[in-house]
Amino acid sequence: ALGRVAARLSSLAVTSKRTGRAIGWTMIRDVPACERGRSDASSEGRCDGDRTVYAFQTGLAVACLARAGHVLGRPEWLQQGRDAMGYW
């Protein structure tokens, strides 16, 4: 189960258009007022794009992937977390 969850989380990373490396994670939430794939993270009626990365979501994703990568011996998840942290 941990491997499936971590693989899904890894697949949801927003990547740099220039390098292809992870830069962070975005909201995974549909908001009726926003178009599909967009969210209103601030609850101010402003819809953010699906490539908008957020520090809180990125921090959680990095922590989860680091733990899963260590436990399951998946260095690519550790590297993805390093890439995202390097971007920030």
Q: What is the pLDDT of residues 67-76, one digit of tens each?
A: 999 999 999 9
Q: Which residue has the tokens 């990547």?
A: 15
How far, in Å, CA of 39 to CA of 2, rounded? 27
Whether the Cβ atoms of residue 53 and residue 24 lie closer than 8 Å to each other: yes
pLDDT band at 50, cuts 50/70/90? confident
DSSP, collapsed to helix, strand or coil, labels residue 13 as coil
At 11-48, the pLDDT tens digits run 999 999 999 999 999 876 555 566 655 555 555 566 66
Token pair recorded at residue 44? 């101010």
Note the pLDDT of residue 42. Answer: 58
Instruction: HSE, CB side, 13 Å, CA atoms: give it for residue 22.
Output: 25
Note the pLDDT of residue 26. Answer: 86
